[in-house]
Amino acid sequence: MSTLICGSLAYDTVMVFDGRFHEHILPDRIHMLSVSFLVPQLRRSFGGVAGNIGYNLKLLGVEATVLAAVGDDFEPYADWMRGRGLRQDYVRRMPGTYTAQCYITTDLDDNQITAFHPGAMQRSHEIAVPLDAGIRRGLVGPDGREAMLSHARQLAAAGIPFVFDVGQGLPMFGAAELATFIEQATWLVVNDYEGQLLQERTGLTPAQIAARCDAYVVTRGAQGSRVHLGDRVLEIPAARPARIADPTGCGDAYRAGLLYGLERGLDWDTTTRVASLLGAIKIEHHGTQAHDPSFAEIETRFHESFGYRF
């Protein structure tokens, strides 16, 4: 085994309302809200950060193993993973629970109302990092609170380098816990909004965060990404997508590109460009695991985007 991805596996259900929420929600009646939306479009897809990252890594030819807790309803997702050669050695089913579920209703203005049921994810901490499985690196991503704490602690104690991706889990942690994560992680990746929150909560500047890990990566959507390496800062351009269909999962695709670069020993300029390209390819498709380029196609797109080959 080379890379262990600790994080969520989830079902994503996206519903599209052919109208605008504000036309049906009365501002002076929010305290007694009762609304119903007809959603003629519905898509259900396989998701969760661990599944999305593993899927994208497989496109790049990197073997990765997912560590996650799932429920009684996981079999369709398990079949999907088997069909794509994604290992499930440390995916554990928790009887009497559902796999994590995300329900998103979006309107014509791209506003979203989201409900998330964590289900089995709340018991992810019951699965220990397999320290005797030949792990060379890991990633700790959004998951149950106790799982993120314990898996980061276990990897750090074993001296296994790992990426820490706090993501939507950030509100669950206080300043001291976030500071500990920064000290434990080898590499840290956030989007620009998460980066602002992280810096406000810990009181650390980007330079101070970078001094506590090997690299602090901040993604900025269409503005590219920024890599803090000690006292150096790299400004990385974004790859341009052919079209924009669905941004959900772009961050996970980017993180798979980071892990690919770390696995292959690429420099940070190239690593983050591969990551950016994976995000651009993903945004061209609906769903988080619907894009399926060959490695040769990824290489060609990289050359077209950045003018050299990786």
Cβ-Cβ contacts under 8 Å for 234 (sequence gap 6 or more)? 226, 227, 268, 269, 272
The pLDDT, as a whole number, for residue 247 is 85
Q: Which of 18-27, 144-153, 223-232 has the lowest mean pLDDT?
A: 18-27
φ, ψ at 214 (rounded to 5°): -75, -30
> What distances in angstroms separate CA 241 from CA 38, 217, 273, 285, one per listed residue?
31, 21, 13, 10
> For 89-135, what is each residue's pLDDT tens digit?
999 999 999 999 999 898 888 788 889 999 999 999 999 999 999 99
Residue-by-residue DSSP string for 249-270: THHHHHHHHHHHHHHHT--HHH
The pLDDT, as a whole number, for residue 29 is 80
φ, ψ at 76 (rounded to 5°): -60, -40
Q: Reply yes or no on whether the pLDDT at 264 is more than 70.
A: yes
Q: Reply yes or no on whether the pLDDT at 47 is more than 90.
A: yes
Which residue is listed with tokens 């994810």?
Answer: 121
> For 52-66, what is each residue's pLDDT tens digit?
999 999 999 998 899
Q: Give the rounded percent of residues in the chain with a pLDDT score beyond 70.
A: 100
The pLDDT, as a whole number, for residue 31 is 83
Q: Region 73-85: what's the mean pLDDT?
A: 97
> Considering only CA atoms, which of 144, 200, 141, 145 is closest in space to residue 165?
141
Q: Region 133-152: what's the mean pLDDT?
A: 97
* Dist. CA 289–CA 145, nearest whole Å: 25
Q: Reply yes or no on whether the pLDDT at 249 is more than 80.
A: yes
pTM comes to 0.94
HSE (CB half, 13 Å, CA atoms) of 158? 20
Q: Region 15-43: what's the mean pLDDT?
A: 89
Q: How far is CA 262 from the centre of its chain?
A: 17
Three-state secondary structure call for residue 94:
coil
What are the residue ranges spanned by the domains of the chain? Answer: 3-9+48-100+120-306
The pLDDT, as a whole number, for residue 28 is 82
Q: Reply yes or no on whether the pLDDT at 6 is more than 80.
A: yes
Question: What dotted CATH number matches 3-9+48-100+120-306?
Answer: 3.40.1190.20
Cβ-Cβ contacts under 8 Å for 240 (sequence gap 6 or more)? 280, 305
Judge contact between 103 and 129, C-beta under 8 A.
Answer: no
Q: pLDDT band at 1, cuts 50/70/90?
A: low
